[in-house]
Chain A
Amino acid sequence: AQSVSQHNHHVILSEAASLELGCNYSYGGTVNLFWYVQYPGQHLQLLLKYFSGDPLVKGIKGFEAEFIKSKFSFNLRKPSVQWSDTAEYFCAVNAPLSGGYNKLIFGAGTRLAVHP
């Protein structure tokens, strides 16, 4: 079965530090990959997505992610975090399944706290 693994459950950083959140998935076929962010008390928002093409994807708010097919990874990065980046981050994979429909499978999430 498809699965998504996020290695860091909690990350604490100071402002201006660089961020990298790991995401690995298990699925041998073609996948679509997503990173979502959930700010405290708010709903999920799409940060960026990868469907095809350039494996380095740029998203909103200065985030980017790199798809490395050989490593089954889609790590999220930001060169310099801000206090407002404090949130929970979810990696998700969408893979075509039998029955003709797709579904999103989420990782467990990484809770990021940025100190001013």
Chain B
Amino acid sequence: GAVVSQHPSWVICKSGTSVKIECRSLDFQATTMFWYRQFPKQSLMLMATSNEGSKATYEQGVEKDKFLINHASLTLSTLTVTSAHPEDSSFYICSARDPSGLLFGYTFGSGTRLTVV
């Protein structure tokens, strides 16, 4: 089946620094990827939709200048948390649709736990 690889699995950074998270579709091409944020014991909240070759589409309330998304190829989307602060600490998950849009639905990465100290 479709596999999405997310890296790193966890990262600790100092307040004010930037962190980049990668999301790769391993055995299929993904023109669209999705970035979610999950707070402890809460559901996944969609942050933005990453479109290959064009600008990402952000959900209401998500700062596009703080959460930079780049989808430069059909297999890679990156999320950069700029000038991170402790309130950005969360679990970030990426997702991609399978090529047909029908067979597997959506495939999720294993997530990245970000801790800002």
Residues of A bordering B, CB below 8 Å: 32, 34, 36, 42-46, 49, 51, 90, 94, 99, 101-109, 111
Contact = CB atoms under 8 A, between A and B. Distances in A.
Contacts of A108: 42-43
Contacts of B93: 43-44
Query: Is the interface on chain B under 10, 10 to 19, 20 to 34, or 35 or more residues?
Result: 20 to 34
A106 B43 contact: yes
17 contacts: A34-B105, A42-B110, A43-B108, A43-B109, A43-B110, A43-B111, A46-B105, A46-B106, A46-B107, A94-B105, A101-B32, A101-B49, A104-B95, A105-B46, A108-B43, A109-B43, A111-B41
Contact of A103 (B42, B49, B104): B49
Contacts of B104: 46
A107 B43 contact: yes
Contacts of B57: 99, 101
Given A103-B46, A107-B43, A108-B43, A44 B51 contact: no
A43 to B, nearest CB: 4
B81 to A, nearest CB: 19
A43 B113 CA distance: 12
Interface of B: 32, 34, 36, 41-46, 49, 51, 57, 93, 95, 97, 102, 104-111
A106 B44 contact: yes
Contacts of A49: 105
Contacts of B44: 44, 90, 106
Summarize A's interface: helix, strand, loop or mixed: strand
A54 to B, nearest CB: 15
B43 A104 contact: no
A49 B105 CA distance: 8
B34 A104 contact: yes
Given A43-B111, A108-B42, A103 B105 contact: no
Nearest to B60: A1
A109 B42 contact: yes
Given A43-B109, A106-B44, 17 more contacts: A32-B105, A42-B110, A43-B93, A44-B93, A46-B106, A51-B102, A94-B106, A101-B51, A102-B97, A103-B49, A104-B95, A104-B106, A106-B43, A108-B42, A108-B43, A109-B43, A111-B41
